[in-house]
Amino acid sequence: MARKIATHISSIDPNHLVSSGTQGFLCADCPKIAQIGFGSFQLFPDQNQYAPDDPNLPAFNNTVQAGLQWIRMHSQSSQTANKPIIMSGFGLVTQESAPSFVPFNSTVAPFANDQIGNVTLNPGVAPYGVTDPQRNDAYMQWLQQGIASGLAGIIQYQARSPFHAPTITENGIEPVQNSTGVSPSDGYSIVGVGQESVQNVIQQAAQQFAPN
């Protein structure tokens, strides 16, 4: 299917740069397709399981280790094909953002009525999501692995604006007239008390990735 789509796009626009665009599975042969210019993959452990769990490790450690392996596997496939590869999106749902979490290809927030932040409304049920320090730890390890593995780009999902952002039009920048003031969130936004700490993690990695 990837070959068919890439060939079709190239037949319409031969100058169009085509990515493999995979999500949730490893397509080791996709970067080898002649019409594909670069590989791409995503890392969302709340949406997909990337490796069998080690019964000797806590759930969070399994999540981190599976992510590290996922990054290495995609890097190796791109190196074999001698093409660049990017991690076009990664994220973890925290306990604070769990009530807003809407899985991809869904319109339902499964934990909307189950908890408020890290406080569960169901006795005996642990709150869904990782803590802010756990998220920061996972992001730091994944970013460092991405840099060490030679990824051509890394994108954290999702950026969110807590204020009225301007709109860029063909006539310049115009202020927003009709806005709630806060960008939508599907559970991956970086907001709240832990916002500054995770932004520091991402900023430090960005400086390593492109020091100049």
pLDDT in tens, 129-146: 999 999 999 999 999 999
- Residue 5 within any structural domain of the chain: no
Q: How many domains does the chain have?
A: 1
The answer as to whether 86 is a domain residue is yes
Whose structure tokens read 């074999």?
80
**Does some domain include residue 3?**
no
Q: The whole model's pTM is what?
A: 0.82
pLDDT reading at 89 higher than 50: yes
Q: What is the pLDDT of residues 25-67, one digit of tens each?
A: 777 777 777 778 888 899 999 999 999 999 999 999 999 999 9
Report the pLDDT value the prediction gives residue 140, as an integer from 0 to 100: 97
Is residue 184 scored above 50 in pLDDT?
yes
Q: Is 6 a member of any domain?
A: no
DSSP run (H or E) holding 71: helix 59-81
d(CA 1, CA 7): 10
Tens of pLDDT, residues 91-115: 999 999 999 999 998 999 999 888 8
> Can you tell me the distance from the alpha carbon of 64 to that of 56, in angstroms, rounded to the nearest whole number?
14
Q: Which residues contact 147 (CB under 8 A, 6 or more apart)?
A: 154, 205, 208, 209
Percentage of the chain modeled with pLDDT above 90: 44
Range of the domain at 63: 12-209
Does 85 fall in a domain? yes
Nearest to 192 by CA among 118, 121, 85: 118
Give long-range contacts, CB 8 A cutoff, 24+ apart: 178-182.
Answer: none
pLDDT reported for residue 42: 93
Residue whose C-alpha is closest to residue 130's, from 174, 92, 103: 92
Is residue 60 within 8 Å of 134, Cβ to Cβ? Answer: yes
